Structure 1
């Protein structure tokens, strides 16, 4: 039976770690995300909770350093990235996926290192959606749309970080992700290491992911299947995954907030830096999507104004559009304004919209490109 057939007929035996996350739980948003009366009251409650969180979070301190590394640029459907807003004639735009390296010191003096969005772009390309897309962009044609800047391990070497120093890996959600090379496996893998289990590239790291998403991957809905590779998690050692039950404070000025909607277990990295507070996720693909009234992308400001939308979602999977909208408003409320242009927030898309000649009408008005701190 093929993997596709198994996914359609039976749940996968994905390990379910019982580990308790060793982090301070943030309960500021708990009531807001479940407020009675529907998603309208939850939006108002979420905005209020975000203002409370801003004050509390700023007092936790700052990390030691934050650096970003470009990994890969790739095509992405315009209708997903600029949900119902852009009027570009091109069906695709270009996004750049970036990894963040965040380091901080715990209260006991222990130095910690987090890799956020450490995507293995080779193995991730086997995600059903992107594998199908590659059928139409073979060989030289692919090179017109895809550019590989570096890989995760090379970025670590550039940053002077020994893989053994890395404590945590995290993603805003687990769409496309295959972490077997990073965390290792308990059994041989035919496509990577057919004669022995895969050795972990990051031997001391654990994956931080929301329990809701880890459990959902075991038995995906048909609308979710194109975006996940659940079979790649079956042989990952259970102790290498730390499930999170909501929002947590990782360290001074470093938090993972549960921001459901784009995926059940969507989470946003929040950082307190020299320039103020940043929110990082894939809920939107451009900073201007949080203040669309200032966007010069054709159609975006007009669409937002016509429909009364204050944010423009990245909506490739519409698990719960209302929740994702509310989550993006939380990020907008938390993030400080950019010191480079006060029209835009310090929202850093983990996959950021980038202008390309092949994609007319999708050039962003403003880009962050990087976060530097410490």
Structure 2
């Protein structure tokens, strides 16, 4: 089995601070990767609590209830993105360890606060460039577009992750492997991801002076917008300073309309994950000339023959602010039914992670297949498709 195996228990204070990247070096320094806890897995309870709080505040204070269909689609994508981690250590850490073992030039001390803070900056810098390239290289956008496909902006959107994206990110962290121990890298890779959860909300407006340094909900709302002024901006993970340094920072101005410039209009999880990859495949074969075919893969999503690398901004669809999200009618009973089934499915998913050391490979594979079938069925239900076979939720519990 792969993944993180460290069993460090977190106090409530540490758990809360973990979500905002304010744990200290002496709390999160480990000699080996195997000692590093699976912080993302331990964050599940905090995800749920924060989701519920946002949902209640948004419904009863702001008068904007969560759209069940979009929210469950985002949560389903989050579940799918984590399924490979049941059996395998993440490709980012695995390749990093390989580089460290074979090519490191110096070895910084794993228990030094200086190493901890240097890694904090290094991981965030690497993430900026990785994130930027996912928007500027079409094949990488095929993974990242999943995260942008939600037409809502709330904490469920943070969990709408791609199962493909992690297979492009590893190369952006390799230079750190020449001198920073893998255990320190593995800690910050997780914290950088966790920090980005809470910034996916419309409930927080402006954070004053912190807006100058940190990536905030305001900055990240712009990043998720399909308004022309929002495109290709604010790639930060934790620190917004990289966008300010490299000319990609854009402040929040007009009302942000969320989602892809060409909405996918589906809640079916495989389409959410793979639709742009299929588009690239079809475009590759229909585009004449070998050089143009390569450009389809490695230039921007908006590129076409005769256009600049990132396409023409004037060809972006107009945004009026009156756009309506894809929202097939669903009865209250159907929404409750779908939510209950997803909660039961989540219990199966969580138990699979907790018991992965005791489950056989066949049982893990069976649960993964079951989860995928069930999520697909829920996606069909939320779209009001007529033909759908729901498996009973108890068959693999």
Question: With structure 2 as the length reference, what TM-score do the two structures score?
Answer: 0.23
Which has the higher Rg, Structure 1 or Structure 2? 2
- Considering fraction of residues, name the structure with more helix: 2
